[in-house]
């Protein structure tokens, strides 16, 4: 087994005693203008710029030229044992060479104060790189705020994992789509893409685990994608690239509750069936088209790397946890309207949020890309997302 490096201890901090005072601010501008923030800013910046990298994979060789990648938003890692079991046992996921996971906690009460990325890597014997995106000033949103216990490190971020050596791991900071100090859930930080070079036997490959903002406009998500693509274009040497993750291509402007409500009304006027069948599974056709055109403009393909028309997140009007989260930022009367609009669809609605894109890679002709929809148990939904899987070859 390879030596470990850049241990998670680098993310330890002493900011917790100040969380209550920091939470009193209702805007980032007011927070950053305060004497308190001026004193704490160096430590906040240090934590958010740290990328943890550890190696748990044994030296491996392979006779396969194709590479299997899986991307999955694991919703904090609150059901970690189930997530690990699926990644070990599900036929399409168990042979993954690369995992691009988003929404992983470190020291959050809602996920039992565990270092989710490290536990996944240890259980699956993978190398990993983890970048914190947010320092959470409270326990979270919705039902998360009611869990027992207190946060320890209070961090949340994204990670990538590999059976093969990882090097040059770093993160790309992206601007926020909304003020993180406004509302019930208060956080310091910003979304960060995790980037690393993987030394696969068939060649070096640059991989990106990417989570775009949910509470943002379509234009803002496109801007975040452009920041990532522009950064990748500056890296030398030029390598084949695979980008995967939760891009939150909901088709909505969700930067404010009012805009989401107006957007929902527009879609009802467009015809619920029309939207459910022709827009939610195909956000690249219209509502999110600028993001996907930016990918193509910079030489990336996505259409052949994803299962077309299959959604990855499924909303049910009976989902208490989802409704509780939504209730933190939209009025209660909206739920009546949502229920009414979806009554002919059994109270359910699905959207396609999770994607791969690549340059210098080609999908394997013998194994088409898949959305893996059978990972959840009868009693516990492991995540609000389905994982996606891609077998591909390096051709660049």
DSSP 125-136: T-EEEEEEEEEE
* All residues at 6 or more sequence positions from 73 whose CB lies less than 8 Å from its CB, including other chains: 101, 102, 103, 211, 245, 246, 353, 354, 383, 384, 385
Q: How many C-beta neighbours within 10 Å does residue 9 have?
A: 7
Q: What pLDDT sits at residue 320?
A: 75
DSSP 178-243: S-TTSSSS-EEE--EEEEEEEEETTEEEEEEE----SSS-HHHHHHHHHHHHHHHHH-SS---EEE
Residue among 42, 53, 76, 79 at smallest CA distance from 156 = 76
DSSP assigned state of 251:
S
Q: Cα-flanking dihedrals φ and ψ of residue 21, to 5°?
A: -70, -40
Kindly state the tokens that stand for 212.
């775009």
Spatial contact of 55 and 4, defined as CB atoms under 8 Å apart: yes
pLDDT at 374: 86
Cβ neighbours, 10 Å, residue 145: 16
What pLDDT sits at residue 63?
63
In the chain, domain spans = 8-249+358-394, 251-287+313-351
Cis status, amide bond into 162, omega within 30 of 0: no
Distance between CA atoms of residues 391 and 323, nearest Å: 35
Cα–Cα nearest to 364, from 394, 334, 333: 394
CATH node for 8-249+358-394: 3.60.10
Q: In the prediction, which pLDDT does 4 show?
A: 37
Q: Which residues contact 147 (CB under 8 A, 6 or more apart)?
A: 109, 110, 139, 140
Token pair in block for residue 130: 């983890």
Q: What is the pLDDT of residue 337?
A: 85
* pLDDT of 1: 33
pLDDT at 310: 98
Strands 98-106 and 67-76 come out as parallel
The region, left, alpha or beta by phi > 0 then psi within -120 to 50, assigned to residue 159 is beta
Per-residue confidence (pLDDT) for residue 6, from 0 to 100: 80
Query: Has this prediction a pTM greater than 0.85?
Result: yes
> What is each CA distance from 177 to 33, 68, 220, 222, 250, in whole angstroms?
20, 32, 6, 11, 14
Query: Hey, what are 314's tokens?
Result: 């499924």
Spatial CA neighbour of 107 closest among 211, 168, 16: 16
Q: 296: helix, coil or strand?
A: helix
**CA–CA distance, 77 with 81 (Å, rounded to integer):** 9
Helix and strand numbers, DSSP H then E, in the chain: 11, 16
Q: What is the pLDDT along the chain (396 residues), one digit of tens a residue?
A: 333 348 899 999 999 999 999 999 999 999 999 999 999 999 999 999 999 999 999 987 776 779 999 999 999 999 999 999 999 999 999 999 999 999 999 999 999 999 999 999 999 999 999 999 999 999 999 999 999 999 999 999 999 999 999 999 999 999 999 999 998 999 999 999 999 999 999 999 999 999 999 999 999 999 999 999 999 999 999 999 999 999 999 999 999 999 999 999 999 999 999 999 999 999 999 999 999 999 999 999 999 999 999 999 999 988 878 888 888 878 888 999 899 999 988 899 999 999 999 999 999 999 999 999 989 877 789 999 999 999 999 996
Name residue 199's beta-bridge partners: 204
Which helix or strand (DSSP H or E) is residue 333 part of? Answer: helix 333-341
């Amino acid at each position: 087994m390879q030596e470990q490096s850049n241990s998670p201890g680098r993310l330890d901090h002493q900011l917790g005693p100040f969380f209550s005072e920091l939470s009193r601010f209702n805007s980032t501008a007011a927070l950053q203008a305060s004497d308190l923030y001026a004193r704490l800013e160096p430590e906040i910046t240090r934590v958010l710029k740290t990328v943890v990298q550890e190696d748990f994979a044994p030296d491996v060789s392979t006779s396969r030229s194709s590479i299997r990648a899986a991307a999955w938003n694991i919703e904090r890692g609150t059901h970690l044992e189930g997530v690990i079991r699926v990644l070990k046992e599900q036929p399409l996921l168990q042979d993954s060479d690369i995992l691009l996971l988003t929404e992983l906690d470190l020291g959050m009460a809602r996920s039992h104060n565990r270092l989710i990325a490290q536990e996944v890597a240890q259980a699956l014997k993978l190398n990993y790189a983890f970048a914190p995106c947010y320092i959470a000033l409270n326990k979270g949103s919705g039902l998360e705020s009611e869990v027992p216990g207190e946060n320890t490190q209070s961090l949340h971020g994204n990670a990538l994992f590999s059976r093969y050596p990882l090097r040059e791991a770093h993160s790309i900071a992206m601007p926020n789509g909304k003020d993180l100090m406004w509302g019930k859930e208060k956080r310091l930080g910003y979304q960060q893409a995790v980037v690393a070079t993987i030394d696969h036997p068939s060649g070096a490959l640059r991989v990106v685990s990417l989570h775009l903002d949910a509470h943002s406009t379509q234009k803002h998500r496109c801007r975040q994608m452009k920041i990532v693509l522009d950064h990748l274009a500056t890296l030398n040497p030029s390598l084949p690239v695979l980008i995967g993750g939760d891009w939150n291509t909901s088709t909505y402007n969700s930067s404010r509750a009012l805009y989401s409500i107006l957007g929902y009304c527009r879609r009802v006027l467009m015809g619920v069936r029309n939207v459910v069948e022709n827009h939610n599974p195909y956000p690249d056709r219209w509502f999110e088209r600028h993001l996907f055109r930016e990918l193509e403009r910079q030489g990336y393909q996505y259409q052949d790397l994803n299962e077309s028309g299959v959604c990855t997140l499924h909303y049910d009007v009976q989902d208490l946890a989802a409704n509780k989260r939504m209730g933190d930022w939209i009025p209660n009367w909206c739920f009546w309207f949502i229920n009414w609009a979806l009554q002919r669809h059994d109270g359910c609605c699905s959207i396609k949020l999770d994607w791969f894109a690549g340059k210098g890679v080609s999908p394997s002709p013998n194994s088409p890309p898949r959305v893996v929809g059978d990972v959840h148990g009868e009693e516990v939904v492991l995540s609000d997302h389905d994982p996606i899987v891609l077998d591909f070859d390096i051709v660049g």
